[in-house]
Amino acid sequence: MSYICYLRKGIVYLPNMKKTEAGFHIGVEPVLMINVNKMEELSRAIHETLSKSIPIVPTPPRDAKLNNILEVTKLRSWSAFEKDAVRWVISEHQSTWKIAIQRSRKDGGGDDKENLIVFPPGTTVDEVSERLFQVVLEKARERGEV
């Protein structure tokens, strides 16, 4: 399972995740959007998101509109959104959870290995969601968004 969390200008975005028949994960509508200052609501949303099972769906065509983040932010492109956003990929494989902040495309993309959080097997979703909440708040404070 794989989940995505974005932080951009004081708003946390949590897309509804699905796995395609082709095997890759996509973030689709509805996208939860929570102000980082609403800490109780944010904590609950993170926990609910990571607690959901991810359904398998038909692979969408390349031009399919999958979520409404650009509409809501009134931006024209993903590159404009990602320029000001921090992205984490949260994954669970064989009972091992991982939270990985993603490097920007200009830095080569992918997991930032220096800030990778790998949990021991058997860690609960409660523990992972609490740690993600803390990581997001820490990054928001560092960026002056709280």
Domains of the chain as residue ranges with CATH? 2-142 (3.40.1590.10)
C-alpha 28/C-alpha 144 separation (Å) is 28
pLDDT per 10-residue tile (average), the chain, 146 residues: 95 95 90 96 97 94 84 87 93 95 82 94 96 98 95
The pTM assigned to this predicted structure is 0.92
C-alpha 77/C-alpha 99 separation (Å) is 26
DSSP string, 10-39: TEEEEEEEEEETTS-EEEEEEEEEEETT-H
C-alpha 9/C-alpha 52 separation (Å) is 26
Tokens (6 digits) for 44:
């609950």
DSSP state for residue 58 in the 8-state scheme: P
